[in-house]
Amino acid sequence: MLEPGKPFPAFSLPNQDGVTTSLADFKGRWLVVYTYPKDDTPGCTLEGKGFSAAKPAYDKIGAVVVGLSADDVKSHKSFCDKFAFTVPLLADTKAQLLKALGVGQSEFKGTSYWDRVTFLVDPKGVVRKVYPKVKPDGHDQEVLRDLKELQQKA
């Protein structure tokens, strides 16, 4: 898995609206990238709702949050609309970024899913903290606290 101190991999992926988003779009800003297993599942919904509710607090400190999964644009759009998410979801249908990040896969009831991992990336594109095996409830607040702490040290 990608470790703190390493550059976050360059990417160019569509969001839920089909708009291409790349790492360069976030240059000069703190970035939170959370990977999640599957659209419209209980834990992923909880995590997306948490980050959406916390978006104003992230905006206030100049940070951007994006979700990332292997689901497609149509699935992301439906998921965002259903739960009124305010954070963009990136569609990595070929899992190129997920693999570059070293995100593992787990199996549930015979189906393989990408693990839930969060990466905190500084304004220069360097990973500052990695959260492996995330528990979705309250995770948005944990990341926000850590981000504020890192900003104070920077």
Per-residue pLDDT of the chain (154 residues; tens, 9 = 90+): 999 999 999 999 999 999 999 999 999 999 999 999 999 999 999 999 999 999 999 999 999 999 999 999 999 999 999 999 999 999 999 999 999 999 999 988 888 899 999 999 999 999 999 999 899 999 999 999 999 999 998 7
Which residue segments constitute the domains of the chain, with CATH numbers given? Answer: 12-153 (3.40.30.10)
Per-residue pLDDT, 98: 98
Per-residue pLDDT, 40: 94
Per-residue pLDDT, 109: 84
How many angstroms separate the CA atoms of 113 and 107, rounded? 6
Tokens for 36, please give them.
Answer: 């999640």
What is the total residue count of the chain? 154
- Amino acid letter, 6: K
Ramachandran area for residue 143 (φ above 0: left; ψ -120 to 50: alpha; else beta)? alpha
How many angstroms separate the CA atoms of 67 and 87, rounded? 7
Tokens for 67, please give them.
Answer: 């979700």
Q: Which residues are catalytic?
A: 44
C-beta of residue 2 within 8 angstroms of C-beta of residue 33: no
Per-residue pLDDT, 37: 96
